[in-house]
Structure 1
Amino acid sequence: MLTDNNIEKYRYTLVPRDPDVLLKDRPTAGGANPTQADYDLYQLPFLDIELIRRSKGLHSEGAQRAHLQLQPQGLHLRHGARAHAFSAGKYDPEAYYLCCLFHDIGTADRYLSTTKMSFEFKGAIVAREFILEHGGEEDLADAVCEAIIRHQDIFVKGGNITAVGQVLQLATIIDNVGLHANLISKPLIEATVRAFPRLQWANCFAGVIYKELALKSWCHTSTFEVLGWKEGIASNFARDVKENILMNQYDQSERMLGVRCG
């Protein structure tokens, strides 16, 4: 049962789904005239508790196999760490950290090519089952599951979303395409990319987008694409990922050093 305490703890508190509505007249941390206090990367609660360790695959063989199949060099875990770093806020750190770690688990080969479900939905189910199997309470598992299911509802304008779900959407879209980058300061972005290098994340994630679209043209990722998208048509989403002006400078630096995604 969803308790009143857990509504607040796991941030089932509602916020507008549309970021333009949510952020209207709100202060920002970046831009020419920042009006929000900056924070340091190492002030964040990078939790070291059993459930988090197991979710990283450090103590659970099954989870370890799953994460190793995501992309070479732990790219998705680094993307999750950057999303975590971009989203300091008043929410349960365990719930949000788990959202970040698991939100792309559905793109692992063992899931992406073996289910007809969209990767967000399959990944959300995998995360929920994992959390419950490893002692997490149902309200925690459900909060993570719902946030992951909805983390690419980018074009939904009406209605509400949970606070933790909105934070996950904003953080991942900042890292993927640079949208809403004025919410965070440049020093924090730079510190985060140093701590969790992108390793040509844009190229790798764009490849995942094309792979899912080719496997299941009905997938949720197709909401970014032209009506009736099929193989041979360029992907709008993959283009936006590869043309991420915010992060291109860091990817370019890695290219000069010969860093590759796989």
Structure 2
Amino acid sequence: MMPSAIPEFYIPDSQLAREMTQYIRDTESDLLFHHSVRVYCWGYLTGARTGLSFDPELLYAASMFHDIGLTARYRDSQLRFEVDGANAAREFLRSHGVRDADIETVWNAVALHTTPGIPQFMRPEIALVQAGAGMDVAGRGYDQFSEAQRAAVVAASPREADFAQGIIDAFYEGMQHRPLSTFGTFNDDVLAFKDPAFQRVDMCSIILASDWTRRTICHAADGCPHHDHPHPPANG
């Protein structure tokens, strides 16, 4: 069901939007589909409240595709699931004749929606997808929505009583086969939560084990202050 009765709300109803809705409906689980619709809702309401000028159809496209990379279609991929989703959105929009600049906006919105600290400084559609996802998954900004708005969104696009556990499970199912893709994001929190044997990649260990650390820096006393010498091989 589409949330068309939400106060001060607008759901794109173009042919493109309808085809996107059907495509995602046919591809995602009920949980991910309704989550994606609500991400659009929260993003739209956030943009309206803060006075941002944004394109609802681009926001809708990015919201619809933002989690498609978690689905079974990408079980063989080793890319970040966000990149799979961004690429899927680009392919879909390009096949429908959407202009390249708009496709780039949607691609960035999908690819960056789990990356903190950056989207809010980019185009409004990019910022609003992350804001909408944060609200729906973690309740970020919950009190900035009225009780009537929250009730209307959830009534129109249901949020399951066990959504919190369900979305964690969906994240895990979509990423467990590509653990290295979670490095540098909070996605590795999901793998650590679900799999006690999961070992995080440690950036400090990478730095300390890099090729640079296999070399010793000459000291000024050695008469070579600006050059380094290879470290002897471990096997002598």
Larger relative CO (CA 8 A, sep 6+): 1 or 2?
1
Q: In structure 2, what is the equivalent of residue 129 of structure 1?
A: 91
Aligned counterpart for 1:146 among listed residues 82, 86, 108 = 108
CA pair 123-186 structure 1, distance change in 2 beyond 3 A: same
Q: In structure 2, what is the equivalent of residue 186 of structure 1?
A: 147
Deviation at 1:223?
2.1
Deviation at 1:233?
5.4
CA pair 107-67 structure 1, distance change in 2 beyond 3 A: farther
Task: Give TM-score scaled by structure 1 length.
Answer: 0.63
Contact in 2 for aligned 1:118/1:220 (Cα 8 Å)? yes
Radius of gyration: which is bigger? Answer: 2
Deviates more, 1:157-166 or 1:87-96: 157-166
**C-alpha distance in 2, partners of 1:234/1:85?**
35
Q: In structure 1, what is the equivalent of residue 56 of structure 2?
A: 93
Q: In structure 2, what is the equivalent of residue 119 of structure 1?
A: 81
Q: What is the aligned residue count?
A: 184
Whether 1:232 and 2:196 are equivalent positions in the alignment is yes
Q: Which residue type is aligned with residue 105 of structure 1?
A: I
Q: 1:54-133, aligned counterparts within 5 Å?
A: 54-57=19-22, 63=23, 67-71=25-29, 74-87=30-43, 88=45, 89=47, 90-111=53-74, 113-133=75-95
Deviation at 1:124?
0.2
Contact in 2 for aligned 1:120/1:149 (Cα 8 Å)? yes
Contact in 1 for aligned 2:27/2:68 (Cα 8 Å)? no
Q: In structure 2, what is the equivalent of residue 260 of structure 1?
A: none
Q: In structure 2, what is the equivalent of residue 41 of structure 1?
A: 6
CA RMSD of aligned residues (A): 2.7
**C-alpha distance in 2, partners of 1:190/1:222?**
35
Q: Percent identity?
A: 24
| Local SS of the residue matching 2:32 | helix
**C-alpha distance in 2, partners of 1:46/1:55?**
12
Deviation at 1:234?
8.5
| Local SS of the residue matching 1:47 | coil
Aligned counterpart for 2:173 among listed residues 211, 233, 239 = 211
Deviation at 1:52?
0.8
Q: In structure 2, what is the equivalent of residue 168 of structure 1?
A: 129
Q: Which residue type is aligned with residue 41 of structure 1?
A: I
Q: In structure 2, what is the equivalent of residue 256 of structure 1?
A: none
**Cα deviation 1:115-156 (Å, max 9, x = unaligned):** 1111100100000110010121111111111100000012x3
Unaligned runs of 5+ in 1: 1-39, 58-62, 236-262
Aligned counterpart for 2:15 among listed residues 31, 36, 50 = 50
CA pair 109-221 structure 1, distance change in 2 beyond 3 A: farther
CA pair 169-132 structure 1, distance change in 2 beyond 3 A: same
CA pair 68-232 structure 1, distance change in 2 beyond 3 A: farther
Q: 1:5-20, aligned counterparts within 5 Å?
A: none
**C-alpha distance in 2, partners of 1:202/1:221?**
22
Contact in 2 for aligned 1:209/1:221 (Cα 8 Å)? no
**C-alpha distance in 2, partners of 1:158/1:198?**
25
Task: Give TM-score scaled by structure 2 length.
Answer: 0.69
